[in-house]
Amino acid sequence: MLALENVTKVYRTGALGLRKLIAVSEVSFEIGEREIVALIGESGSGKTTIGKMILRLFRPTSGVIRFEGKDIFSLRGPALKDYYRQVQGVFQDPFASYNPIFKADRVFALIREEFYPRIRRSAWEQRVEEALRAVGLNPSDVLGKYPHQLSGGQLQRFLIARALLLDIRLLVADEIISMLDASTRIDVLNLLGDLRDRGLSILFITHDLSLGYYISDRSIVLYRGRIVEMGATERIYARPLHPYTEMLMESIPRIDGRWGATSHRVERSAVLPGAFGCVYYPRCPIAQEICARRVPELAEVEAGHFVACHVRGGASSSAG
Amino acid sequence: MGSRSELLYFAWLNTKVRVGALILALFVILAIVGPLFARHDPNAYVGPPAHPPSSEYWLGTTTFGQDVYSQFVHGLRATFIVGLLGGGIGTLLGVCIGLLAGYRGGMVDEILNMFTNIVLILPTLAVLIIIAAYLTVRGILVESLFIGCTAWPWAARAIRAQTFSLRAREFVDLARMSGRSSWKIMFYEIAPNMLSYLFMTFILQFGGAVLIAATLDFIGLGPTQGISLGLMMNNAVLWAALPLGMWWWLIPPGAAITAIVGALYVMNVGLDEVFNPKLREL
Amino acid sequence: MALRVENLRIYYRTLRGYVHAVEGATFSVGDGEIMGLAGESGCGKTTLGHSLIYLKPPMAYIEGRVFLDGRELPIWDMDRMNEFRFRHISIIPQYAMNALNPTRRIGSLIADLLATRGIDFRQILPELQRRLDLVQLSQEVLKRYPFELSGGMRQRVVMLISTLLNPSLLIADEITSALDVSTQRAVCEMIVEFRNRGFVRSTIFITHDMSILYQIADTILVMYAGQLAEKAPVETIFRSPRHPYTRMLIASLPRVGARQRVERLKGIPGSPPPLLDPPPGCRFRDRCPLAFERCQEPPPFVEVEPGHFVACWREI
């Protein structure tokens, strides 16, 4: 359904725009029907940038993003609106997503104005009520209020309801849980699972591995703009292959076991990360000489499980 | 929910806003009602020359025997009109250009920026002198237009900066994902969030226009007919009002301009505190 | 007892009246104890933490007493508290790593701070250098500006500064929330290290992230809507909590190993009551599946077994 092909995003910074900041580097992956894909990465990994590119808010520097085979950046006019009818997003900060001077319902009114200009009022109200109930909100509790009168959890669900008004097929959820309280998090998460069961695909962007494990079918691990590991969630968590994934798994605070002794804390003087060698080279405990010279390719080590690593990457390491 | 009334409450509570608004209101009332009490035409020679304030001529007379009070209140009206028109035009231009440059960015921003900078460094006085040379008859409208068209750059800059920061906010992204066109986003999403900023910009433009108009009138580049506070001061100085002790001719217009512009600026500072909760003292 | 708090009541003064942020908190933190202060946003944990060291408007001190190492802390008096701040009680505020003055070098920042306490920088320098080594920061850091350091490094610098004079009590307010997973772990391990080496006697670690507390805290104090719900050793809180709120909270935490398709976790429906005019009695009443008539009366925070305090009529 959605495919990214070698997508790269480079920002120009510095006084005359001479310095380059590589946010996303040659990322390729696909999202199919009815699946939740977790995009996992810490700050600086490029995960939010990827989400925003999929939502057509940023333009990639190179590479193509295809939806149903068509390049989304070539869409104009009605075709573009059609894209947004099928692909929508929800962001991290529930309060920032609302224009503070208007009531929260306005986000629904915008959808109506742009996508259903001729619908009758009663039909629209019914649609809105259905969408609200589908996300577990009581319409009489939340309609007609200002954003600051609702809680974070309610606002996030409101936004998901907004997306549902459009018959979407793909929802980009960028850290939508992180600003919610512990008691509401799990409910919103369960909601995403229910939506998946009803036919929706979700790109779940997060830095929290336990959330990713709970909800996703496949996981993609990003480090500094590159995919380092990709595959079925259970496989990745049971048998992490890339040293970065291993480090992540070790470092997340768990409630079923204490942190063990730190296995590695390496800091090599960085050799232009991302430009010439493996992007994880400066911190990698198992790095070898080739890692500083060549960017490792994403190789399939077992069915559906990909790793970009010279040492653990199976096929590419033997050829290297 | 009360956020509007809360704002008004704070606005009233704030001493600066209260005092500034009162002073301004005083002068506005004077400008509206005053001329009704003026018994003489401002520029007509009606009375004994250089006469101090009396029951007949409330603010005395000029060297030529013109009624200073009549000049004063008519001049107030003219000053306010220029302030409103000139300030209004300046604000409108600044807002439109600032919004467009801030929202579109890229090439549009570069071009508009260049344009803004050019107008900013124009030697307005020189241009005005040239215009004055060609337009031998000038009215208040022309003066307001001129002020408006040369005072907008700094407002455009400020609005552009605000737009830049607002445009990165997530509710703008949401509007884009709802398929809204750029114009709708600029005027319906971004501008309403800058209302306090826009308001304060207008106040400053108003005050600035009054000052510029007074300056222009003072050096003789103002309207060729009618009367204004600046023109009064011009005449007063020209005819040596102060050395001759005719304080009633020079002081009222000067004091009025100082008071009006001062009140506006003080209100502005106060409004900043009102709109920005963090600056409030509770 | 390093810290003893008795019946602390802190409200916020607003236009519409008092917000009951902390309502009668009574607890103690022992010597060498790392107590986690947990709860959702708006529960009052940050207010409680800040009131112990920097009680400024709009916070209003209503009643209560605080004792540190047997001496009473005059928390309502900002000037008199100065004598205690930084020396005996210290705080690492939230977002501190972003609040370093960008125009000063780290070294001169520290020197200034020490000078306000009447301490000569040069006397402290050897100890400072030892601690820099301990947290794996190079000595060069003292000559750098804050923007030259990474987020993790800045956080470590802030932690170092706050603990330089070996305070009896350290309050850490959400120090891990903006950090990456690997830095989070390093920061947490540092808190434990500080305690182990005696740089800090007791610590109050404020966070909403329960799993971090599982890793480093000795005891956990759970707050809800301004009231204390439960305090117990960390294993007890996680394995056998007694307050309904704690139970439901623990049950809603995703752990690596739990998948939605296999075992569906449940959240707590509803939301906390408004604190402007809070309902009487137990504030968890409306969301509690075990609520009954007695809950209209505020339950006392009592010790139901050694070291385990609960405020719930069902458990007393």
Sheet containing C71-72, strands listed edge to edge, beginning at the edge strand earlier in sequence:
C17-29, C3-14, C59-68, C71-72
The residue of chain C with its CA nearest to that of B10 is C15
A319 pLDDT tier (thresholds 50, 70, 90): very low
Please report the pLDDT score of residue C234 as a whole number: 92
Report the amino acid identity of residue C109: L
Contact between residue A155 and residue A98 where contact means Cβ atoms under 8 Å apart: yes
Interface membership of C117 toward B (CB under 8 Å) = no
The proportion of chain B whose per-residue pLDDT surpasses 70, expressed as a percent, equals 93
Largest CA distance in chain B: 74
The proportion of chain A whose per-residue pLDDT surpasses 70, expressed as a percent, equals 92
- Alpha-carbon gap: B171 to the closest alpha carbon of chain C (Å): 23
Q: Which residues contact C72 (CB under 8 A, 6 or more apart)?
A: C65, C66
C211-224 confidence digits (pLDDT tens)? 889 989 999 999 99
Chain C partners of A253 at a C-beta cutoff of 8 Å?
A: 184-185, 188, 209, 211-212, 214-215
pLDDT beyond 70 at C242: yes
- Say how many CA atoms lie within 13 Å of C188 toward its Cβ: 30
Please report the pLDDT score of residue B32 as a whole number: 87
Q: Which of A138, A179, A181, A188 has the most C C-beta neighbours within 10 Å, making it the best mutation to test the interface with C? A: A181
Contact between residue A187 and residue A195 where contact means Cβ atoms under 8 Å apart: no
C66 pLDDT tier (thresholds 50, 70, 90): very high
B98/B190 Cα distance (integer angstroms): 12
The residue of chain A with its CA nearest to that of B2 is A146
Are A97 and B170 an interchain contact pair (Cβ–Cβ within 8 Å)? yes
- Averaged pLDDT, B75-92: 89
Contacting partners of chain C (3+ CB pairs under 8 A): A, B
Pairing of strands A36-40, A201-206: parallel
Chain B partners of A96 at a C-beta cutoff of 8 Å?
A: 169-171
How many cross-chain Cβ pairs, A to C, lie less than 8 Å apart? 109
> How confident is the prediction for chain A on average, in pLDDT?
84
Among partner residues C215, C260, C271, which is closest to A190 by beta-carbon distance?
A: C260
More confident residue, C303 or B242: C303
The residue of chain B with its CA nearest to that of C57 is B282
The residue of chain C with its CA nearest to that of A233 is C259
Are B174 and A97 an interchain contact pair (Cβ–Cβ within 8 Å)? yes
- Averaged pLDDT, A253-266: 68
Strand partners, C299: none
Interface membership of A187 toward B (CB under 8 Å) = no
Please report the pLDDT score of residue A316 as a whole number: 43
- Alpha-carbon gap: B275 to the closest alpha carbon of chain C (Å): 16
Please report the pLDDT score of residue A274 as a whole number: 45
Place of tokens 């106040």: B203
Please report the pLDDT score of residue B274 as a whole number: 73
B130-187 confidence digits (pLDDT tens)? 877 787 777 888 888 888 888 899 899 999 998 988 888 888 988 888 888 888 888 8
Closest to A174 (Cα-Cα) out of A57, A8, A15 = A57
A177-209 confidence digits (pLDDT tens)? 887 877 788 888 888 888 888 889 999 999 888
C268/A182 Cα distance (integer angstroms): 9
Q: Which residues contact A126 (CB under 8 A, 6 or more apart)?
A: none
- Averaged pLDDT, C30-56: 90
- Averaged pLDDT, B123-129: 80
- The dotted CATH code for C3-98+168-315 is 3.40.50.300
Start and end residues for every CATH 3.40.50.300 domain found in chain A = 31-59+74-238
A100-150 confidence digits (pLDDT tens)? 778 888 889 888 888 888 888 889 999 899 888 888 888 888 888 888 778
Please report the pLDDT score of residue B122 as a whole number: 86
Task: Report helix, strand and coil shares of chain C as percent, to nearest 5.
Answer: 35, 25, 40
- Alpha-carbon gap: A287 to the closest alpha carbon of chain B (Å): 39
- Alpha-carbon gap: A67 to the closest alpha carbon of chain B (Å): 16
Q: Tell me the CA distances in angstroms from A212 to A238, B253, C139, C265, one per residue in order.
A: 13, 72, 39, 14
Highest mean pLDDT pick, B239-243, B266-270, C302-306? C302-306
Please report the pLDDT score of residue A19 as a whole number: 75
Query: Tell me: domain A31-59+74-238, CATH 3.40.50.2300, correct?
Result: no
pLDDT beyond 70 at C246: yes
The residue of chain B with its CA nearest to that of A80 is B179
Interface membership of C56 toward A (CB under 8 Å) = no
Chain A partners of B195 at a C-beta cutoff of 8 Å?
A: 101
Please report the pLDDT score of residue A263 as a whole number: 55
Please report the pLDDT score of residue A317 as a whole number: 43
ipTM for the predicted complex comes to: 0.81
Q: Where are the domains of chain C?
A: 3-98+168-315
